[in-house]
């Protein structure tokens, strides 16, 4: 019987994720990235020319934030929301503004835009 891939919480720098315009302005997209024998799960929110990327893991209980793929934003589109327990997070900082993990932060995922393409970056970026 095949064992599911181990979940990892970081990616090496330099992995291409595709063009930034694959994410509509004001929308989010999930990414599952193979890393060695494991798999990393993250998401990116695009706000104009800026992107904000996070590990898909709620600081409350460690579960993924979205019940459905790409469903990371609240109905207003102004906050990131946890589908499971109702926590809401600032898009630009990942800080939990309300809910069971108020004051905690989502883990940033270092991603850069290079010539219109999203690429994983090092922790110093």
Cβ atoms of residues 79 and 88 within 8 Å? yes
pLDDT at 1: 62
CB atoms within 10 A of CB 125: 11
For 12, the token pair is: 């090496």
The CATH label, of 3.40.50.720, 2.60.130.10, 2.102.10.10, 2.40.160.10, for the domain at 6-120 is 2.102.10.10
pLDDT at 125: 40
pTM, two decimals, is 0.93
Provide the H-helix boundaries in the chain. none
pLDDT at 123: 62
pLDDT at 58: 92
pLDDT at 65: 95
Name the stretches of the chain with pLDDT < 50.
124-125
């Amino acid at each position: 019987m095949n064992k599911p891939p181990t979940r990892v919480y970081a990616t090496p720098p330099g992995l291409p994720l595709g063009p930034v315009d694959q994410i509509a302005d004001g929308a989010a997209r999930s990414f599952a990235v193979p890393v060695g024998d494991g798999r990393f799960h993250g998401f990116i929110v695009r706000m104009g020319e800026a992107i904000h990327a996070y590990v898909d893991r709620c600081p409350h209980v460690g579960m993924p934030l979205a019940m459905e793929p790409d469903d990371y934003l609240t109905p207003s589109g102004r906050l990131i929301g946890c589908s499971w327990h109702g926590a809401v997070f600032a898009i630009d900082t990942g800080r939990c503004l309300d809910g069971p993990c108020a004051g905690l932060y989502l883990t940033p995922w270092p991603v850069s835009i290079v010539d219109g393409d999203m690429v994983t970056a090092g922790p110093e970026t």
